[in-house]
């Protein structure tokens, strides 16, 4: 399946009110001047500029307009960049960058890409960081390994994957490639609490590959929706870390939500088939205000039986591994992929 030749440009994906035309030529650049490795995540600022992050250290951040014109390219100091959030605080915009800690290995054997624990793999892990930056890329502060504040033991891994910031400035970080906790800090970077991990008395409170996080403001009180990717579900917590409910997504190794009004969209990196996450099988899911899947992009239509979502699966025609997505104010989507032959983002134009 991974050898299937994809020709996504011009394809129509999705169902119902959420159908899109794939523009696979959007955002393409001279790869010698502006190379990408993996296109991990997106943010849009108040000027409608689209910030995309890539773990190529020649240019960690590419800034586009909505037509795919390059406006800026910068950043060389984040080899494991994985997520970006742009937040307005007291009338000033700031960038939050999550670096998972992966970096290119100087001792790479030229072959190994999946031997994560090998000293000769293409990428190796170091401790990750979360940094608050000005819009010009200057560091305001950096949050490092939680052992430095007595929250983790030194042997515990810290490889964060995503971030969200509340209206009061509180910072929520998912340690999805590390120890699977959610860490909450205040606006000044001071530790408040953490939860999740693997050893709770109830498995519902556990997180497995806590890959993404977002604040759900659709109800009377804000809540956190967090992906437990290896469990193929999203879990809902209070802003103080109390488990509330789960949104099952069988068949989908799903990422955190990106809100579009009353709906949200989530990237799926892999389809799960026979208890294995299968390469080159990514897609996208759009959920309604009741957290039901109403459209799948690059997959067969979602199907519910007795109000229970049945296993979803890629259609193998459009995406490799969907990793990042964001919606602009017109409802168009911008999609980035991991391990997709260094491809630039796609634009999905809503019909």
Residue 158's region, left for phi above 0, alpha for psi from -120 to 50, else beta, is: beta
* pLDDT at residue 7, as a whole number: 76
Q: What is the predicted pLDDT for the residue at 261?
A: 96
pLDDT of residue 5: 55
Percent of the chain with pLDDT over 90: 98
DSSP assignment of 58-78: T-SEEEE-TTS-EEEEE--S-
- What are the two backbone dihedrals, phi and then psi, of residue 289, each rounded to the nearest 5 degrees? -65, -15
Predicted model pTM: 0.97
pLDDT by residue, tens only, the chain of 351 residues: 444 557 799 999 999 999 999 999 999 999 999 999 999 999 999 999 999 999 999 999 999 999 999 999 999 999 999 999 999 999 999 999 999 999 999 999 999 999 998 999 999 999 999 999 999 999 999 999 999 999 999 999 999 999 999 999 999 999 999 999 999 999 999 999 999 999 999 999 999 999 999 999 999 999 999 999 999 999 999 999 999 999 999 999 999 999 999 999 999 999 999 999 999 999 999 999 999 999 999 999 999 999 999 999 999 999 999 999 999 999 999 999 999 999 999 999 999
Query: Which domains are delineated in the chain?
Result: 12-350 (2.120.10.30)
Residue with tokens 């437990």, as numbered in its chain: 228
What's the pLDDT at 326? 98
**Chain Cα centroid distance, residue 329:** 20
What distance in Å separates the CA atoms of residue 181 and residue 210, rounded to the nearest whole number?
8
pLDDT value at residue 6: 72
Q: What is the pLDDT of residues 82-132, one digit of tens each?
A: 999 999 999 999 999 999 999 999 999 999 999 998 999 999 999 999 999
Per the rule left: phi > 0, alpha: psi between -120 and 50, beta: everything else, 19 is beta
């Amino acid at each position: 399946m991974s050898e299937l030749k994809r020709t996504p440009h011009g394809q129509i994906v999705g169902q119902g009110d959420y159908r899109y035309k794939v523009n696979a030529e959007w955002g393409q650049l001279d790869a010698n001047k502006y190379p990408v490795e993996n296109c991990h995540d997106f943010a849009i600022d108040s000027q409608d500029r689209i910030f995309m992050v890539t773990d190529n250290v020649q240019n960690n951040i590419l800034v586009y307009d909505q037509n795919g014109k390059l406006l800026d390219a910068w950043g060389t100091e984040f080899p494991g960049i994985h997520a970006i959030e742009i937040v307005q605080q007291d009338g000033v915009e700031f960038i939050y960058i999550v670096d998972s800690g992966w970096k290119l290995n100087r001792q790479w054997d030229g072959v190994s890409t999946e031997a994560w624990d090998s000293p000769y793999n293409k990428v190796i892990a170091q401790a990750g960081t979360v940094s608050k930056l000005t819009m010009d890329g200057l560091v305001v502060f950096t949050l490092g390994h939680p052992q430095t504040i007595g929250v983790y033991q030194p042997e515990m891994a810290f490889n964060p994957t995503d971030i969200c910031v509340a209206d009061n400035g509180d910072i929520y970080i998912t340690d999805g490639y590390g120890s699977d906790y959610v860490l909450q800090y205040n606006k000044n970077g001071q530790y408040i609490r953490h939860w999740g991990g693997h050893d709770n008395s109830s498995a519902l409170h556990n997180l497995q590959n806590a890959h993404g996080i977002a604040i759900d403001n659709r109800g009377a009180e804000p809540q956190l929706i967090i992906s437990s990717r290896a469990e193929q579900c999203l879990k809902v917590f209070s802003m103080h870390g109390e488990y509330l409910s789960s949104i099952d997504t069988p068949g989908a190794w799903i990422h955190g939500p990106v809100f579009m009004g009353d709906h949200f969209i989530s990237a799926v990196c892999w389809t799960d088939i026979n208890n294995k996450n299968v390469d080159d099988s990514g897609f996208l899911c759009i959920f309604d205000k009741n957290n039901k899947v109403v459209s799948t992009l690059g997959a067969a239509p979602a199907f519910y039986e007795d109000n229970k979502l049945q296993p979803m699966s890629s259609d193998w025609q459009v995406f490799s591994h969907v990793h990042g997505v964001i919606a602009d104010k017109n409802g168009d989507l911008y999609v980035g992929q991991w391990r997709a032959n260094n491809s630039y983002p796609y634009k999905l134009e809503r019909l």
